[in-house]
Amino acid sequence: MNEIQDIHVVQPRGMEKTLFPHQLLAIQKMEEREKEKTVSYTHYAIESCVGIYADITGFGKTLSILGLMTRDSMEWNLEQDHIHSSILCVYGHGSILKKSLLFFKRIPTNLVVASTIILRQWEEELNHTTLRHSLFTSKRKVTNLDPLEYDVVLVAPQCFNTLMERFPNYAWKRFIFDEPSTTKIPGMRPIIAGYIWLLTATPDMLLYTTRNSSNFMSSIFSTYMDYTLYKNLIVKNEDSFVKQSYSLPPLYHKYHTCYQPVYNAVQNMISDNILAMISAGNVEGAVKSLGGNSTSNIYDLVRFEKVEGLEECERKLLRFERLGDEERVKRWKSRKDNLLRELEEFNHRIALLLSENTCHICFEKNVQPILVTCCQNMFCGSCILQWLQNHNSCPLCRKSITTENIFYIQSPSSSPSSSCRTDKEEAENDTETRKMEKEKRCRKFQTKMNVIVDLILDRGKEGKFIIFSSYDESFEPLCYLLHDHGIHYTQLQGRNESRSKQIIDFKRGEMTVLFLTSIHDSAGMNLQESTDVILYHPTSEDLETQIIGRAYRVGRNTPLHVHHLV
């Protein structure tokens, strides 16, 4: 590894934990940036006191920053004021510059901002250094803060603006913002510092998520910043070198094909956003996005959308044929042909679904199928009606339903004399072969919830599962099923104190399952005790990296299993 030969930084004095080669090299690169404050190329140079430290998730960026602080090699003369300059005018192609100059009192303190849970992790790591530090999570405590008493001040996002208002004339030695793309500070005030470090494993996410707000971060990454300039702000080791520097246990990915009749029927027929809702179990949200309500049939909504599109094509064709606009006529004819093909394919999928779909009550082929609007699944007519005589909830998603929430679906293969057999009749009439076929169908048509429960039960008492979905609706029916099987679970939500307790309970094994519904709540969090990560639906590559990184990180000593439900 040539990178090791390039490392000149040694283990910082004052740190108990031994740093790995990639962390030492990261410190070296950051010290060079702090010294030069310039990134030079052949035909241009970038002057900057902002850097983005972006090593891959889970490989100890926090310790690298603490090593940078402990070595403390950045020049910072406390006897001199810090001069913050801004260019006002440029004349003579840069021969004359007019600048504004603002003077600030330098202090030797580093300021760290992160979510409260991540700050606890910073505090834990700082306890293994000689750096003087303190954590501030309330505005009341901030009003009594004297930053000169500490080398490192840890501040929660809700306290940041209060701190800036209290010390408007201070220039901090460094400002470190951990996971700024997911940690929001409404109306974030400007901060003056010798150097600003932004920590993230997904720098592209940082560039585009901060542009929509109006605060200090959006002033850095404005819409006028081109990507070439932006990527030159990044300090990052090669991923291969990081992985060689510290060898994590194996990471296993497993893909589970689940029973998703609605998803399969409408795939490529609707927008990706609505399709993602269906994959996550948020069928009601998908129905509403298609213009329906709680009693709507999603298949009719999709078909209606296609028919409306065809009607629009007919109107446009009639208009442009009259105008003699051949180019637009050709374009609308092509669109009409595409819609006709999509409608034909959709009708074929529905016919196939009706002919092959299996009832989740009797596990036989549906007879006189009825669709329930809550999760848009189908059951035998007699099965679901018999079920509703004794229950007021859906057999699959557990949501409350009445006869208003069910629809008969016409099937060419249905006949009035057909009926769904009871378990007693099956016991009397089924041959051994038919019983085996039935068991195969039961295994074949496993819902996502069934797959999750099986995975947890197979893992046993030692299992600790992170389950991620972008939608809360994924977890409501799953909670009922976990409760039925005696599986303890918790969802990361509520106030900071509540979140901290939820994480502690999960780490101690008091909770087997931790639900995550937003990466904003967990970015940078250390959950290396997890044995498995379950992704309830497909996500972007950046988001998947962040989720897996909660468990797959430095300090882990057992393999991690990642399950994709598809």
DSSP state string for 222-239: -TT--HHHHHTTEE---H
Distance, in Å, from the CA atom of 340 to the CA atom of 335, rounded to the nearest integer, reads 9
Least confident of 41-50, 296-305, 414-423, 517-526: 414-423
Rounded Cα gap, residues 474 and 469, in angstroms: 7
- Counting residues of the chain whose pLDDT is more than 90, the rounded percentage is 48
Residue whose C-alpha is closest to residue 13's, from 129, 182, 96:
129
Closest CA to 478 of 441, 452, 510: 452
User: How far is Cα 236 from Cα 242, in angstroms, rounded to an integer?
Assistant: 10
Strands 45-47 and 38-40: antiparallel
Question: Given this model, what pLDDT does residue 108 score?
Answer: 97
Q: What is the pLDDT of residues 353-387, one digit of tens each?
A: 777 777 888 888 878 888 887 777 888 888 888 88
Segment holding 163, helix H or strand E: helix 157-166
Q: Is the pLDDT of residue 338 over 90?
A: yes
pLDDT for residue 64 is more than 90: yes
Classify 507 as helix, strand or coil. Answer: helix
Report phi then psi at 430, rounded to 5. Answer: -65, 135
Q: Which residue has the higher pLDDT, 226 or 338?
A: 338
Query: What pLDDT is attached to residue 540?
Result: 84
- Residue 518 clears pLDDT 90, i.e. is over it: no
pLDDT at residue number 79: 95
Average model confidence (pLDDT) across the chain? 86
Which range has the worst mean pLDDT, 256-260, 350-354, 407-411, 537-541?
A: 407-411
Q: Is the pLDDT of residue 103 over 90?
A: yes
CA separation, residue 487 to residues 125, 426, 510, 561 (Å): 32, 32, 10, 19
3-state secondary structure of 478: helix
- The type of residue at 83 is I
Reported confidence tier of residue 443, pLDDT bands at 50, 70, 90: very low
The verdict on domain 261-444 having CATH code 1.20.1280.290 is no
Count the Cβ atoms, other than its own, within 10 Å of residue 535. Answer: 21
| Residue 358, CA atoms < 13 Å, CB-side half-sphere | 17
Q: What is the mean pLDDT of residues 532-545?
A: 89
CATH node for 251-257+446-565 = 3.40.50.300
DSSP 3-state assignment of 339?
helix
Calculate mean pLDDT across residues 281-286: 82
Tell the burial category of 516 from Cβ atoms under 10 Å away from its Cβ (0-12, 13-18, 19+): buried
pLDDT at 397: 79
Identify the DSSP state of 49. Answer: S
Choice among 129-138, 211-220, 316-325 with the minimum mean pLDDT? 211-220
What is the reported pLDDT for 487?
A: 95
Is residue 80 classed as helix, strand or coil in its secondary structure? coil
Q: Where are the alpha helices (DSSP H) in 324-398?
A: 326-356, 381-390
pLDDT tens digits for range 161-204? 999 999 999 999 999 999 998 888 989 999 999 999 999 998 88
The reply to whether 2-245 and 261-444 are identical in fold is no
Q: Classify domain 2-245 at the CATH topology level.
A: Rossmann fold (3.40.50)
pLDDT at 137 over 80: yes
Are the beta carbons of 119 and 183 closer than 8 angstroms?
no
Phi, psi of 255 (to 5 degrees): -110, 125
Distance spanning both ends of the chain, measured CA to CA: 39
pLDDT tens-place string over residues 391-437: 888 888 778 887 777 777 754 344 433 334 444 444 444 555 555 55
pLDDT for res 431 = 53
Query: For residue 53, what are the β-bridge partners?
Result: 199, 235
C-alpha 168: how far from chain center: 35
Rounded Cα distance between 280 and 518, Å, is 13
Using a cut of 0.85, tell me whether the model's pTM lies above it: no
Domain limits, the chain: 2-245, 251-257+446-565, 261-444
